[in-house]
Structure 1
Amino acid sequence: MRVSTRDRTASFPTGFNSLTLALFGYLSLWQTGAQQQSGLLHYIHTQLLNRTFTVGQANLPLYQANGFDMALLIPYFVVLGILAGYGFHRYSLVFLYYKYRKRETREPAHRFADLPVVTVQLPIYNEQFVVERLVESICKLDYPRDRLEIQLLDDSTDETQLVARAAVERAAAAGAPITYIHRTNRSGFKAGALDAGMKVARGELIAIFDADFVPPADFLRQTVDYFTDPKLGMVQTRWGYINRDYSWLTRVEAILLDGHFVMEHGGRHRADLYFNFNGTAGVWRRQAIGEAGGWQHDTLTEDTDLSYRAQLCGWKFTYLPHVVCPSELPVDMNAFKVQQARWAKGLIQVSKKILPRLLRRKDVDAHHKIEAWCHLTNNISYPLMILLCALLLPAMIVRFYQGWFQMLYIDLPLFIASTCSISSFYLASQRELYPRKWFSTLFYIPMVMAIGIGLTVTNSRAVMEALLGIKSSFKRTPKFHIESRADEQASVVKKKKYKRKVGWSPVIELVLGCVFLAVTVYAWQMENYLTIPFVLLFVVGYFTTGFLSIFQGRFPRRRAAAVVAPPEEVPAASLASR
């Protein structure tokens, strides 16, 4: 078969979302039995739930559910079982990562005697604050100038055009082989820009970087020689994070992406399974793009779409975890939610487009098909989470007086599938990257889970839009050139530049936070103390995403004093655009 790739749609992992729900259902069984001796719950207990059966000499309680109970419990366990299945999938990725660790790609088998021509494409859209940094870093790439071509593909509609032109003119005057290409219609969004650039590119290999990336100078030296393998179609490198320690939110984002790049990419690549290009920090063979049908813009994750089409054409992919390309993480909750929703919607769109074709292929084995299914449909967990939230409290009440026997054969397997897969997945990735300080990640795991829960509202909407075929534009993730706390004051003025309408999702998140706060009170009154820490994850998750979205979207911090200088005026004449 072939190797493969996984995308920038590293959409937020959803397997851990089932963790707290499974824990909630699991721990709700541990009741004292002496809690309510009167009232409706006591009546339900004595008249409906107090059934026993005999095992040897022991009488064990066995819950005989009526029709109403079953109407609640069947969908509850079906949904929880699906979520637990995705939890087991995370176990499989960790297993594959360690099972095939000797297959790690380190050095290319051969070296080019005559280096190929490389075209570096830089697709941007309204990136006023980071485009200069991008151009400067790309022009520092260590590669023969006669074999390097740089395209700044600008679809911007604001002052970014002036900033970008000026940056390109300065670089070109210094001898960099760079051209500025501006489109006015933005047809096909990022995929359309890349396709337009390819039509005039002269490179055999195409390297792609988004505006928030700062590749190391030796990036091409570390990646190009792998293409001495004529069957290799794409090389993906690992992302690093310039502003990882900027805030607790950026630390959470970094942990999530580390899990994707270490365990998901690493496990799939080592096991020779399909994985995807992440949209940036990678190099393509131009021939592979062409044979796969080129860049297509009928999904929001054109990178994953092209990745699967290329691999189905027989092209191999390789992943280089030791080559790290620094990038800037979103520092704003609204920007983070926009990014995650785009990735969630895009993957479901790709699943609808690619899976029917892939599943019918007789030359693709079952392992590849199962892994592709789990990869591309994983985000269906988000609307299932919303459904499970609606069923949670009624199911908890119905099962309040169930005994330990039901717990052992129903809840315990779901608990193990949903719980340990999360901690093992992210802790294993941190241990691989930071063997001496990975233990500190433990303090962020609860917040990772809480934020994942908080994203269910916006991501569920995105998934449902994809399932219903509702189209939407490519919503970029704003970048502000914020690398440390030293950039904080100027960042407030910058954020006003690309501020979006908050919408109703934060209100829904706050309502859900209040609902789970009421559930917490109910659990306390029922003396179900063991469930409270896990229910609080829902409270924290929904309140955090809701309040931060409103606060950062409507009330920028007043302590900002810096003013961002307007872009330098430059002549409107474009550089030699081809």
Structure 2
Amino acid sequence: MTGLLAVLLIVLPQAWFYATYTVLVLKATGCRMQTHLSGRARGVSFIIPVRREPIEYLERAVNYIHGLGVEDYEIIVVSDDDEDVGEVLFERLVEWRRKGVNVWLVRRSIPEGYRTGAVNTGLWLSRGDYVYVVDVDAMLDKCLLEKAIGVLEANGNVAAVVGRWEPLNLDTRLSEALGYSMKFIIDAIYRGRSCMGLSVFPLGTGTLFRARVLKGILKGWDQERIQDDMEIGARMMYHGLGVKYIDECAVYVENPSTYRALRIQQSRWAYGATDVLVTRLSHILRSKQGFLGKMEALAFLSQYIVPSLVFLGSLVLAVQVVVRPVDVLWEYAYLLLLLLASQAIFGRHYYRKLKEYSGSGLKALINMGRSAAVTTALSPYYFSSVVKALVRVRMQYARTPKGIHQSASGRLRAPWELVFAAFFTATGLLGLTRGAVVTGLWLLSNALAYSYVIYRWPRDVFFK
């Protein structure tokens, strides 16, 4: 019975995930999206929350927004930095304003609500008709503002418009794999959902909001939630407010360049998505979305539960090999075939898209393998974050490190990647020696993923 449970935990979540994404990709492939509406880029309040961000990133973001030529704009920088950094920011503020940049600086001595609290501070101080939250590592096409304003002016029930995320950097092995995966996911989730007539979730950076809706109906972002975009998206669904996606205008975002930065980001996202699933479940179920829309929204918020269950299933399978030497995966080969079939169908579309993005079939295969290995290595962190969210343990907010802050420090950390690499290697080899060949190979494939991460990013594994 334990063996069957392990196989079900491994097979069913993945088969469901691959089937869902395959449907979305097929829908996106056969659908043409074009937004003919357009308005003047005007009256936008850009809110930039900062804490321990590289000054040069903020400088670039402010100058870039100013250079867009938006009429009657304002930039509100909300800093949760220490006083010494605040003094440096104030000096830059004086320089920017001398150059004619309409930028304001707000320093919060007590960072309540962390990033979400900073965004709310900017929201209540803003005076524009529209609000756009900007991460310091993101850049947007001006056409997004023009087309988004056109959509908002023509559709009173639409509260926000989302642009297409594009990778800003492909300079490392990791950022390249993440960049191509991100393009694929945006194509599937955002384009596919839009083509099916479903509402989409806002993106943390890349969304133009109608200010009066944020202030009057939604009363800002919920500062108790750390995943602000998913949280406010769930409440928009509840209120029957539309969120539209524009495919032809891009928002360029920086992907983590180090495994450490990715681990911090993904741990927060896994907790945040699951936390929203728990706290906003009733909002989605009671929303005006149709049945398919509700189920798809819940599936979107459950995305980190999938690798968490696969990790748990692999642990149970490894223990099973030690306690009772039976080839469980071979015993339930029909379930394994279901997983392999769903993987093959999904993988075909994934490969074709990555080949299209990179221009090389070999590079597509390499990045597919790299992404799979990193996802497996991160699964213990997904599991930990998901469990914390489900049992309502408060997680400390941690910003994704950027620039020089992405590198690991000199402080040692528990190398869980090494622990699980050794554990799955030992149990996998034990399975092979005891005749559990298929199960042993599955465990060794897990060990290989952890080993790859240790080999490629050893400093990020052993140091904080």
Query: Which range moves more in the overlay, 324-333 or 176-185?
Result: 324-333
> Distance in 1 between the 2:184 and 2:273 partners?
18
* In the alignment, structure 1 residue 231 sits paired with structure 2 residue 154: no
Query: Shift in Å at residue 530 of structure 1?
Result: 7.9
SS of 2:315's equivalent in the other structure is helix
Q: Structure 1 residue 139 and structure 2 residue 47: aligned?
A: no
Residue 517 (str. 1) matches residue 445 (str. 2):
no
Please tell me the residue identity of whatever aligns with 1:398.
Answer: V
Is the contact made by 2:199 and 2:244 (CA closer than 8 Å) also made in structure 1? no
Aligned AA for 1:427? Answer: Y
Q: CA deviation at 1:515?
A: 2.4
Per-residue CA shift, 1:245-280, capped at 9, x if unaligned?
x21111121122122211111111221223211200
2:395 is equivalent to residue 472 of structure 1: yes
Tell me which of 193, 197, 200 is aligned to 1:275: 200
Q: Partners in 2 of 1:258 and 1:373 — Cα distance?
A: 22
Aligned pairs for 1:131-280 (under 5 A) are 131-144=58-71, 147-157=72-82, 159-216=84-141, 219-229=144-154, 230-244=156-170, 246-280=171-205
Task: Tell me by how many angstroms 1:89 deviates.
Answer: 1.7
TM-score by length of 2: 0.89
What is the identity, as a one-letter code, of the residue corresponding to 1:340?
A: Q
Residue type of the alignment partner of 1:133 = R
Q: For residues 72 and 540 of structure 1, do their structure 2 counterparts lie closer, same or farther at Cα, with a shift above 3 Å needed?
A: closer
Distance 1:158 1:538 in 2: 46
Q: Distance in 1 between matches of 2:195 and 2:212?
A: 24
Give the CA deviation at 1:378.
Answer: 2.1
Structure 1: runs of 5 or more not aligned: 1-69, 481-490, 557-578
The 1:357/1:281 distance shift into structure 2, 3 A limit, reads closer
> In structure 1, what is the Cα distance between the partners aligned to 2:399 and 2:457?
17
Asked if the contact 2:143/2:249 (under 8 Å) is kept, the reply is: no
Q: Any idea what the Cα deviations from partners look like across 1:472-502, whole Å, max 9, x if unmatched? A: 232001111xxxxxxxxxx5xx557x84955
Per the TM alignment, residue 463 of structure 1 is displaced from its structure 2 partner at its CA by: 0.7
More helix by share: 2
Residue 67 of structure 2 aligns to a residue whose secondary structure is coil
Corresponding pairs, count: 458
Q: 1:538 to 1:360 in 2, by over 3 A?
A: same
1:337 alignment partner, one of 263, 268, 291: 263
Unpaired runs of 5+ residues, structure 2, are none
1:86 equivalent in structure 2: 17
1:125 aligns with 2:51: yes
Counterpart residue number, 2:34 = 105
1:276/1:76 Cα in 2 relative to 1: closer, same or farther (>3 Å)?
A: same
Measured in 1, the distance between the counterparts of 2:384 and 2:82 equals 28
The 8 Å contact of residues 328 and 439 in structure 2, kept in 1 or not, is answered as: no
**TM-aligned CA distance change 1:216 to 1:451, over 3 Å:** same
Q: Say whether the 8 Å CA contact 2:10–2:314 is kept in structure 1.
A: no
* Matched-pair contact (CA < 8 Å) for 1:128–1:159: no
Whichever residue aligns with residue 149 of structure 2, its letter is V
User: Are the counterparts in 2 of residues 334 and 502 from structure 1 also a CA contact under 8 Å?
Assistant: no
- Provide closer, same or farther for how the CA distance between residues 247 and 424 of structure 1 changes in structure 2, counting only shifts above 3 A: same
Q: Give the percent of matched residue pairs that are identical in Structure 1 and Structure 2.
A: 20
* 1:420 and 2:341 aligned: no
CA contact 1:131–1:163 (8 Å) conserved in 2: no
8 Å CA contact retained: 1:142, 1:218:
no
In 1, Cα distance between equivalents of 2:142 and 2:18: 39
Q: Is the 8 A contact 1:214 1:325 kept in 2?
A: yes
- Maintained 8 Å contact 1:446/1:537: no
Distance 2:82 2:455 in 1: 31
Alignment partner of 1:303 out of 211, 226, 229: 229
Q: Does 1:552 align with 2:451?
A: no
- Larger relative contact order (Cα-Cα within 8 Å, sequence gap ≥ 6): 1
Q: Deviations over 1:326-378 (max 9, x none)?
A: 222222211110000100100001001112232244x4321012111211112
Contact 1:83-1:381 at 8 Å conserved across structures: yes
Q: 1:380 touches 1:463 (CA, 8 Å); kept in 2? A: yes
State the match for 2:327 in structure 1: 399
Root mean square deviation, CA, Å: 2.9
The question of 1:323 aligning with 2:249 is answered yes
Secondary structure of the structure 1 residue equivalent to 2:237: helix
Distance 1:545 1:161, change over 3 A: farther
Name the structure 1 match of 2:220.
Answer: 294
Q: Distance in 1 between matches of 2:214 and 2:307?
A: 32
Query: Does the 8 Å CA contact 1:143/1:221 hold for their aligned counterparts?
Result: no
Contact 1:332-1:552 at 8 Å conserved across structures: yes
Q: Report what 1:45 is aligned to.
A: none
- Output the CA distance in 1 between the equivalents of 2:306 and 2:402: 28
Which is higher, the Rg of structure 1 or of structure 2?
Answer: 1
Q: 1:501-540: per-residue Cα shift (whole Å, max 9, x none)?
A: 5532x2x321211122234545665788888876554223
